Structure 1
Amino acid sequence: MTGRILIVDALATNRIVLKVKLSAAFYRVVQARSGHDAIGLARRARPDLVIIGDLPDMKPADFIARLERELGTPAPPVLALLPQGQGALRIAALQAGAADVITQPYDENVLLARLRSIMRHRQLDADLGMPPDTAHALGFAEEPAGFERPQSVVVLADTIERAEALRTRLAGSPGLDITALGHGEPRAAAALRRAPDAIVLRIGPENTKPGLILLAELQAAPRTRRARVVALIDDDIAHLAAPVLDMGAHDAQPATIDDHELALRLSFQLSQKRRSDALRGKLEDGLQAAVVDQLTGLYNRRYALSYLKRMIAEAHAAGQTCAVLVADLDHFKSVNDTHGHAAGDTVLAHVSARMRAALPADSMIARIGGEEFLIALPDTSLSGVRHVADHLRRVVRDTAVPLPSGDGPVRVTISIGAALATPTTPRAQTDVGKLVAQADKALYGSKSGGRDTVTVCMRPAA
């Protein structure tokens, strides 16, 4: 595993021992002897994770808060190594946002597994993110809505009694919708299909194998693979903590964990889940904005040309006929000149919606210019193209568009040109550009023939 880790400890011996272990696991290590030095080094070296031990100049919680202030959000995750008997420091560190707190002396295998887990999930979040400046420039950094729905948590144990006992331990956590279920309950599958935000999974000696199998299934299932999983492991099988983390659990703790600490750890995982969901939502919005015309909701030219290329290749391989239609609203300039550009936008949006609804489900429609549209029809025929195009023409002609000003309604017509790529058309003559050019020529024929008409190009694209 690669990644840069900053070790902070006042004792050189502790730093050296930990550096040897981490270097053997292929991490790059930088070191600091105090919290103050570490924050300066973190600003320069930008570590992927920070491990803090004995800090001579500040408490762990203060270090975490200052690191976030100095480096901004998200700061690198912090893993604290604290001696036994430091319950107050442990809780304070978790409340401040520590990714984990591990008691010394620690199990080396568990420590390395925990590092792998933190680094893995951090990278997944990084893959969803984008630089803040880019986000603002593209308009993907709007403030989130004030309302936040309650987050859902499913508690799973081998019996419903143990699951209910776990739910009782979490009952004081605000804003959670908690469902307790036994592994074999028929309603367990239905609850998991509702895509919970987090899953608390108890694994004991009596259900070790089924518990591990369930963990693997949770990571693979589409509805649960994004849920944050907190595994609670009985002391008798404590050695499974490292494998459980490597199997995808986000946290693995003894089943005897203090209730307050359990609630804090679950809260941390849920906050990470909410952040990941927000990043994923912004990414999906960004991807949609890259291929969708914002005014009409139709695909844009970039997506349309890529789609055409795939459609033509698939039709050629399957021995099918496909078609491209280019459509243009007639005398649209007069709408803008008479009623204003806001009215023109209304007409475009309204007509686009009607055209999309009138097309077959397997078709694609895009806005490729001001009032120009491109339609792709896979697996069709000459008669099918004529039928679809003429239906589209009549739908637009019969659409009365009400205007925001109260004027109108406005009616427009559309001219359409179409070109086909058949199984007998030579592959070299079904290039996207050539096919669109043929449809454009057919559109010109419709315009010169009086508009509100359909022309199909009968010659192969050349």
Structure 2
Amino acid sequence: MQGTILVIDGVSTNRIALKVQLADAFFDVVQAGDLKEMHHKLRICTPDLIITALAVSDGTACDVKSATQREERLRNVPVIAVDAKGCTTARLDALAAGVEDVICHPIDDLVLHARIRSLLRARSAKEELRLQRDAAGAMRHSSIEFGQMEPLRAATVALVTETKLMGRNWKKALEEFAPFGLRCHDLTDIRGLMSAPVPDAIVIELNPDTAGLGLRLVADLRARAATRQSIIVALPDQDTPEIAAEALDRGAHDVVQSGFNPAELAMRLRAQLTQKLQEDRLRASIHSELKAASSDMMTGLHNRRYAMPFLDRVLQDARATGESFALMVADLDHFKQVNDLYGHPVGDAVLIETAARLKMMITPKDLLARIGGEEFLFVLPGQSASDAAKSAADFCDAINERPFRVAGIDQPIKMTISVGAVIGSTRQMRDLSAADLIAKADQALYAAKNAGRNRVSVSKQSPVAA
């Protein structure tokens, strides 16, 4: 089965007809005649989607949506309402309550199944984001209420129509209902959609004469990195269900089959942009948590957790190309004395300044990571032995050429650093692992310490000094 759909309708023939349609698409169908029966069904199952009549004997589609919002397990279950009477007010009320779509009788199989596929894809994507957030250890964000307007005022919506005149007419009509910025494009002049600032939502006219171009645009926008997260709303003619279904299957987030109605379009855009805002916050939270997991909080450098996979990738690339690279481990000399004499806050300030100085010495392709208290790791792809010797000397100079000035300390603090270097040669790349190369760099670092500190070593002396 593709999933479970709960059908709520007081008319048994309507429920049976929907069950036949959905069973043919391999959905498991659960039925309820009213809200009381719905609550009973929801206690024993969690549907993937709900299709409800706009009104039943003891409530409305708004009540159904409200019920799903009260339970965490049901919060992301999409709701489709079926309008048997063509009541615009009731349809707008349902959309305002958060119902994902309202479709009219007679129900078109093509559009219904496309809409179900679209909503289930969206639900799956949101659940995946939440799982990624939880895996990254992010804090839960409170949901944004549908009545909250302020975050949407900064949103921009592009209106893409067959002619500029049509776009201007749409814009003028929407301005009364839409709290966000509006701009116009025609179907043959869409370069601005692909460049910054990318619109938050794009409304595309799909009349029969230009549907092919418009549908290709829908697919193109969803495929491009710049516009992949933009909301796409398609407006086909009322009598073209096949175009509506195609738009949904090509990636449109919403389709307005009732024609251009500024109040309804504004409401749908508001709901879609609210969802986008929630998902953008989830993505930002995931990015922040992943960055925190791979970064050293004090210095802002990468940490060992990030450095080891990076070194593995450099080693694999070097094995494939035969290109050498430099691996270095650097350690501040006599750093313990700084903590003992001045306290750990001063030691932290020295570490932060050390990281800043060293970071200025590397290129974007290089890696600098803090892997211990006062220990740093460099991975420098493409460097030969002579390149590495110069780089390591520059690292030493960056630390010892001028003393460290720390707020609250009258005298500047003189610091030096020792560096142990290993060059990833053809033989080493074949025989040694990343951990083996780090061990060799550590041995070289100990040799530099034993030789008097403030120097670079690539020798293989036994570790003695600390």
TM-score, normalising length from structure 2?
A: 0.90
What is the CA–CA distance in structure 1 between the aligned matches of 2:142 and 2:18, rounded to whole Å? 41
Cα–Cα, structure 1 residues 246 and 410, in superposed 2: closer, same or farther, change >3 Å? Answer: same
Identity fraction in percent: 37
Distance 1:173 1:355 in 2: 55
8 A contact 1:402–1:409 mirrored in 2:
yes
2:446 counterpart of 1:444: yes
8 Å Cα contact 1:60/1:89 also seen in 2: no
Q: State the Cα distance separating 1:360 from its structure 2 match.
A: 2.6
**Using a 3 Å threshold, how does the CA distance of structure 1 residues 69 and 400 change in structure 2: closer, same or farther?**
farther
Q: How far did 1:436 drift?
A: 0.6
Residues 223-302 of structure 1: pairs in structure 2 closer than 5 A: 223-235=226-238, 237-254=240-257, 256-302=259-305
2:164 aligned with 1:165: no
Mapped contact 1:291–1:300 kept (Cα < 8 A): yes
1:320 paired residue number: 323
Q: Could you list the runs of 5+ residues in structure 2 that have no partner in the other structure?
A: 462-466
SS in 2 for 1:243: helix
Match of 1:130 in 2: 131
d(CA) in 2 for partners of 1:43 and 1:283? Answer: 32
Would the aligned equivalents of 1:61 and 1:92 in 2 still touch at CA under 8 Å? yes
For 1:346 and 1:26, the matched residues in 2 are separated by: 63
Give the number of equivalent residue pairs: 454
1:5–1:409 Cα change, 3 Å = farther
| Deviation, structure 1 residue 171 | 0.7
Aligned pairs for 1:46-85 (under 5 A) are 46-53=46-53, 54-71=55-72, 74-85=75-86
More displaced stretch, 25-34 vs 89-98: 25-34
Distance 1:325 1:362, change over 3 A: same
Between 1:21-30 and 1:272-281, the stretch displaced more is 21-30
CA contact (8 A) 2:440 2:460 kept: no
Structure 1 residue 426: Cα displacement: 6.2
Partner of 2:13: 13
Q: Distance in 1 between matches of 2:246 and 2:396?
A: 63
Which one of 173, 183, 187 corresponds to residue 183 of structure 1?
A: 187
- Find the aligned partners of 2:141 and 2:161 in 1 and give their Cα distance: 40
Contact 1:343 1:403 in 2 (8 A): yes
Which residue identity does 2:66 align to in structure 1? A
CA deviations over 1:238-276 (Å, ceiling 9, x no partner): 431111110111111236242211111111111111111
Which amino acid in the other structure matches residue 151 of structure 1?
A
Which residue does 1:376 correspond to in 2? 379
Counterpart in the other structure of 2:458:
456
SS in 1 for 2:139: coil
Contact 2:400/2:416 (<8 A) preserved: yes
**Greater Cα offset, 61-70 or 316-325:** 61-70
**Cα shift at 1:340:** 2.4
Q: Tell me the CA shift for residue 354 of structure 1.
A: 1.7
Amino acid at match of 2:33: R
Aligned to 2:464: none
Q: Which residue of 2 aligns with 1:140?
A: 139
In the alignment, what sits opposite 1:309?
312
Q: Deviations over 1:345-390 (max 9, x none)?
A: 2222221122111113321111111111111011110001111111
Structure 1 equivalent of residue 121 of structure 2:
120
Contact 1:351–1:399 (8 Å) recurs in 2? no
Amino acid in structure 2 at the alignment position of 1:46 = T
Report the Cα offset of residue 166 of structure 1: 1.4
Where does residue 92 of structure 1 map in the other structure?
93
Report which stretch shifted further, 305-314 or 22-31. Answer: 22-31
SS of structure 2 residue aligned to 1:235: coil
Deviation at 1:447, TM superposition (A): 1.2
8 Å CA contact retained: 2:177, 2:262: no
Correspondence for 1:435:
437
Q: Is the 8 A contact 1:305 1:432 kept in 2?
A: yes
More moved, 289-298 vs 404-413: 404-413
User: CA contact under 8 A between 1:39 and 1:70: conserved in structure 2?
Assistant: no
Report what 2:406 is aligned to. Answer: 403
Q: Using a 3 Å threshold, how does the CA distance of structure 1 residues 67 and 236 change in structure 2: closer, same or farther? A: closer
SS of the residue corresponding to residue 278 of structure 1 reads helix
Question: 2:372 is aligned with what amino acid?
Answer: G
Aligned in 2, Cα 1:144/1:269: closer, same or farther, shift over 3 Å? closer
Alignment partners' CA distance in 1, 2:157 and 2:233: 10
| 1:103 match | 104
Q: Any gaps of 5 or more consecutive residues in structure 1?
A: none
Change (3 A) 1:143 1:56: closer
Which segment drifts farther, 58-67 or 217-226? 58-67
Asked if the contact 2:211–2:243 (Cα under 8 Å) also holds between the matched residues in 1, the reply is no
Tell me: CA distance 1:173–1:407, structure 2 relative to 1, closer, same or farther (3 Å).
Answer: farther
